[in-house]
Structure 1
């Protein structure tokens, strides 16, 4: 028969005990408290006892943590995609407003740059005749002319690879012919090849950014393809 007397329970401990008995979820829902209780139980069991239930709970907790990380990543990507969609839609609506090609180019070099949060926008048109018209010079900060075949060469860097409609890449540094003095700071770009209609030379819409990670080859291109397709139709209207 044991002569050991039960330990006295302090009033604070008794109050806590009653709270736990009345609301056990208070403990069960607290991961830190549960870990402490399981650790105390394992310590009392000794080092030669394997707690399979404890191991299973650890693995379940690890899986739960991974699922929560994935969940947060999916939500963040969804918000980012929604924000990108809103930017593209707003820019397309803005480009529908000008009543002449001059206003179209002015908008492209000003408000569209701000709306899309890029650092440079360029519209490259291939031409067989080198034009020195004042109208062209006026918009040299957005309109670039090039000889036939240059667009494909610029997209592929002269390599023998297929020319895609949308190309995202890093540049370091970009060519002065495209960006002028800004080329020193451009570190990534989005290239959208434009089909301007039958019997017309192609065009190229270029977004440039000082952020080397803004445009990467691993990114999706659905939104840029939509913008490119809409832009093609606007250009065909202006070119008659």
Structure 2
């Protein structure tokens, strides 16, 4: 009994010296509040305890929000770094064929997409047959194709960047054989300068959730802005 009393006394002295030990332990505080409620009896309503429970619930929600904000910030930072690395790699080539090969290779890997297509509109009479031989990344289409593709056949496109899920036959006209596996895409409309027909950069992914309509498009719009300026240099 003496040993027990001595241990209890040491514990009591420590708690008196450092009361924050109890205050910072949520489980211990719950146990103390529950013990206090039992001591008061069942016919007494502890308004202070109810208030504390509500404050605790609000604190839990605030902590969840805080964690969500931090996670979103880290994700946005990672996305920004990814776009920056893709742009730097995209600007490395000094020849157009190398530029196109780079799009389907290193740039696609950095962006973590499974297929990249550059669509250029040209009039049939002015079409250069050599464009068809520079690789599968480049697709040459008739005037009006880009806007119709972005709008999905529903009039003029409302956005410069379209994120959507697609079916196996939706993207076959630009993705070729890879279209059988592409399930989501980001389509970026390109302004190639005055007097030129528009173009489009399409990023296709096998993951149906990689590009969704409710995702933000700011970073992709920035990528498209840099890309179209690079294309004007090649077309000059």
Structure 1 length as normaliser, TM-score? 0.91
Equivalent positions of 1:4-15 (< 5 A) are 10-15=5-10
CA contact (8 A) 2:86 2:111 kept: yes
Partners in 2 of 1:214 and 1:90 — Cα distance?
Answer: 19
Alpha-carbon separation, structure 2, partners of 1:207 and 1:196: 18
Q: 2:89 maps to what in 1?
A: 94
Name the residue aligned to 1:214: 210
What CA deviation, in whole Å up to 9, does each residue of 1:100-132 have, x standing for no partner?
111110111111011111111110111222858
1:148 to 143, 146, 154: 143
Coordinate RMSD, CA, aligned: 1.8
C-alpha spacing 1:152/1:184, structure 2 compared with 1 (3 Å): same
Aligned to 2:181: 185
- Partners of 2:33 and 2:174 lie apart in 1 by 65
Q: Which residue of 2 aligns with 1:230?
A: 226
Structure 2 counterparts to residues 17-36 of structure 1, below 5 A: 17-36=12-31
Partner of 1:124, secondary structure, is: strand
Matched, 1:176 2:172: yes
- Structure 2 gap ranges (5+): none
Q: For 1:11-160, what aligned pairs fall within 5 Å after superposition? A: 11-129=6-124, 133-140=129-136, 142-160=137-155
- The TM-score with structure 2 as length reference comes to 0.92
Q: How many residues align?
A: 232
The residue aligned with 1:3 is none
Q: What is the rounded CA distance, in whole Å, between the counterparts of 2:155 and 2:45 in structure 1? A: 62
Secondary structure (helix, strand or coil) at the match of 1:98 reads coil
Contact between 1:152 and 1:163, CA under 8 Å: does it hold in 2? no
CA distance in 1 between counterparts of 2:228 and 2:58 reads: 48
User: Where do residues 192-203 of structure 1 align in structure 2 (5 Å cutoff)?
Assistant: 192-203=188-199
